[in-house]
Amino acid sequence: MTTDSEAAIALKNEGNVAIAAKNWEKAIECYNKAIELDPTKAVFYSNRALAHTRLESHGFSIADASKSIELDPTYIKAYYRRATSNLSLARYAEALKDFRTVCKMAPNDQDARLKMQECEKMVKKINFLKAIEVGEPASAAEGLDLASMAVESDYDGVKLGDEMTLEFIECMIERFKNGKKLPKKYVYQIVLKAKEIFGSEPTMPEVKIADTQKMTVCGDTHGQYFDLLEIFNRNGYPTEEHMYLFNGDFVDRGSWSTEIALLLFAYKWLYPRNFFLNRGNHETDDMNRVYGFEGECKAKYNERTFKLFSEAFSALPLATLIGDKYLVLHGGLFSDDKITLDDIRNYDRSKQRQPGQEGLMMEMLWTDPQNLPGRSPSKRGVGMMFGPDVTKRFCERNGLEAIIRSHEVRMGGYDVEHDGKCITVFSAPNYVDTSGNKGAYINIGPDYKLQHNVFDAVPHPDIKPMAYAQSPLSSMMM
């Protein structure tokens, strides 16, 4: 007769097979059952932590790794996995502590030693920046004389004057497809103009769809430039009659993040009242340092380019209200039922450049839905999770049909949850070249009915995700 302990080991082994096949959900299911039968084995929690990490559920991963360490303080993999999840959340000091423990236990582990050294550099850098902080930092645009700046002599594209043109955008699209860059002068012009326009918009723009118009809502694109072009090729390029809203996370992970950001910013300049961008949790400095956008800006242009983008990201609206029916925001809802649309309207985002670990901005960028009622700690380790009852109350109180959010991979490209009142749309198919998911976008006409559209990833040049990441995470990709 099989004992509970033997059955648990068999389930663990089944979970390991699922891990090898990159079936993270199946792996978690197996480890859950193993833990129910035998909750005393450190390896069960540590392996489940790995699966949670792959699903970006870093809060769950940290909890599992910590439980594994509690059961067996000598279990090296648990320290490594907790360090990895803390690193993913830009918690460098916590990650460094665990990487040091790994290196002490396994002094010949060169991978862990490299990650420890990189974490040490990041901690020193952050401490240095804090030490020299005096009031509001000067803008990266200070001392930038665009009028006298020359365009590089080898640039053979359309010239950009004082106004954005469709001809310039079409040329830019082709240049980016062919691996070419823009002159720095034009990059600065586009980013500074976009920042100016964002700064003139409210925290929550309110959009009506006229009889001759339609609106397309897109989710995360994450530097997957060729998949972005697939959306435009399938669905139509932006015009004054065909409005677009990109719901955050334009950058990071994918290795064409500057191309996406510049293209979206150029469209914002061309159609300021018909093209909209919301801020995501990856339009933030901490995430950009970890997941590649900062490194990409420096590699393709320079450090000033990243700083200008950072300032523009901090000016982005946090939500968009479509036809008084749909609130579109990157993450989700709030820890307090009393929050209303008026709180979003009245929120002064200019006083807080980065979202931090609490407050309205953080929750709008980071929270996620759950199936259970009520609220729970976040699987990510930042923000929280909200149930269908929370969504129902928010929609009823604010006269909404639904919220539309992004922030999470959905294997089918989109998901309709919470009795139809919470819709997730994710527009990066085959996310980080490994997930196998569909991408999706939502079309909304003058009748405000939602039409969900699904598409597959398209081929791209052989440049891997996170190619420009300057952190240990670049070697941790799935």
Q: Which residues are catalytic?
A: 282
> CB–CB of 380/331 below 8 Å?
no
- Tell me the C-alpha to C-alpha distance, in Å, between residue 309 and each of 93, 111, 187, 189, 305: 26, 32, 10, 11, 6
Strands (E), 338-378: 368-369, 375-377
Helix and strand tally (H, E) in the chain?
17, 14
Strands (E), 145-188: none
> CB–CB of 473/290 below 8 Å?
yes
Helices (H), 335-467: 341-345, 360-366, 388-398
Sign of the Cα pseudo-torsion (230, 234, 235, 237, in order)? positive
> What SS3 state is found at 80?
helix
The order of strands in the sheet holding 375-377 is 368-369, 384-386, 375-377
- Greatest Cα pair distance, the chain, in angstroms, is 84
> CB–CB of 288/468 below 8 Å?
no
Pairing mode, strands 439-444 and 214-218: antiparallel
269-274 own/partner pairs: CB under 8 Å, 24+ apart = 269/164, 269/190, 269/193, 269/194, 269/197, 270/164, 270/165, 270/166, 270/169, 270/238, 271/238, 271/239, 271/240, 271/243, 272/197, 274/213, 274/238, 274/239, 274/240, 274/241, 274/243
Q: Counting every residue, how long is the chain?
A: 478
The order of strands in the sheet holding 414-417 is 206-207, 319-322, 326-329, 402-405, 422-425, 414-417
